[in-house]
Structure 1
Amino acid sequence: MSNDRTPTVVKAVRAALLVSLAASTVAACGGGGGGGGSTPPSPILPPVLPPLAPLPPVSPPTLPPSSFETTEYFGSGFTSGNKSGLGQIHASSAYARGATGAGITVAVIDSNVDSTISELQGQISGSYDVITGRSATDLDADSHGTLVSSVIVARKNGAGVHGVAYEAKVLAIRADTAGSCQTTGEDEGCKFSDTTLVTAINYAVANGAKIINMSLGGDGNISARLKSAIVAATDAGVVFAISAGNEGAAPTSTDAAKGTSPTEPAIVAGDAAVRGRVIAVGAVGPNGTMPTYSNRAGSTASFYL
């Protein structure tokens, strides 16, 4: 194997010079007899090199974070001492660096989303219901899917509070078990099965979602089937934001604290198989404190917000 370390460009120049020299030598030696003198050799000219590639454009200067801190950013409905979520996470610093969600599709796996409200008009890139043949009256009275989608992508239109990623789009995937959102009593609230969640995750990945939001959770251990779907999605580069759960309770004289770790499926955030691409998300109040009912980080502390 050659140990020649001569740069490629230099080699190319030398090769071109050798070709020119060979051509001029042939011209000088050729022609046979004849009465005239020999033809003088042609001058050896350096080869014409291709023009250098243009330099990349200089990025425009970033705007100061304060330019994004409008009334809509802080939320006109928040009183003194309280802040909107945008103010609490200092989202303006991200906006100043161009991180507004532009070009990103966020899949919201939840209950139904009402795309006709003013804050979501033009913000829903598509919708899909995992349950086929669902009744038109099977709606979530609490509008949880609509609320979650609004937190993410509500329009920046000068009214209320805009979404944290107001230039992103939501792919609304409905996955609640048919009829479960109408449940009342102690067990009220929308329910989600592993089957529908796996189908929803696979659909989100196949349709270009870069982030999957799942503001849901349950008791017990995460099933192997659901975990495999989440791992496969993270292998494809998808990032998950999953609710840590609302099962927390302070300790009492007779009972230990509850909710010291996230519920499933957020508990998978601490698993090495997901490569740090699952974030367990706790709750926070407008005054910046964490409510007692929110599940704590526990074993997912490195991947918990």
Structure 2
Amino acid sequence: MADRVAVMQNGRCVETNTCQTLFSAPAHPYTRSDYWPPNRPASPPGDSAGCRPLLRLTNLGVSYGGAGRIFTRRQAPKTALSGLDFTLRRGESLGLVGESGSGKSTTALALQRLIASEGEIWFELCPCISLTAGKCCRCAGASRSCFKIPTSALNPRLSMAEIVAESLQAHQKLSAHAVEQRVVAALEEVKLDAASRHRYRYPGEFSGGQRQLIAIARALILQPELVILDEPTSSLDRSVQAQILSLLQELQQKHRLTYIFISHDLQVIRAMCHQVVVLRQGQVVEQGSAEAVFRTPQTPYTRELMTAGRQFAPER
């Protein structure tokens, strides 16, 4: 949108130039690092455990409406998601992309059993939700979420330590000392200062990037196998985005985490994901390996998304 750009660092203007020149040939090291993309995701291990599917969806669908409530008219059912199938191995990342209202967040809600759905969701060969098998308590705590806007996702009345410890205290019976040790370890793993004076600060005292790190620590303290990331970097500037994405890659390789990444930013999806599913109005438009989808998109809608992404993304 701009004709010229001024790059600020620590209250100083370190570089200014026209958009075309600055994005094609940034001169200052800070400008270059600000748009540094993370490395391509490493392939998951090829051993037998790695090849076994961690998550499998079969014909997943979600519909709203239908039966009317008291004093309301009966509404025609609306299909929010239909016919979604994919298999995800341990250590892999899958990206869900599409315009607003395409069914991305609906998929995340269905995976966590927060809304009713049709079809089957299998976690490690166990039917989490199935038309025939119903719910399974085996998967409680197996998946965790990290959301788009950390300010609204964190309770402002709780300190950083209390936020991270809350789910641990709800799911596991541990002593206060054991909980504190786990909280300190989770905060240090996401590179947050775990000193006592910082642990007892409130969300409003942290930056946006730090609040997202708190949210990641909260998601990881239960040691989940699957983490759902719903636009985790959309509210952050590019330099902080790169730090968060690099951390997520590091944690994935360390713990063999499986990610489902929801994002409008195709650069993020391309950098983080092994598989991509393109959704539009609740329907699967295209899916496959990230390399194949980005190199040779098969549908006009996918090509349109990529063109729009390149139009508003800085050139590398």
Same fold (TM over 0.5): no
Give the structure with the larger strand fraction: 2
Normalised by the length of structure 1, the TM-score is 0.33
Query: Which has the higher Rg, Structure 1 or Structure 2?
Result: 1
Normalised by the length of structure 2, the TM-score is 0.32
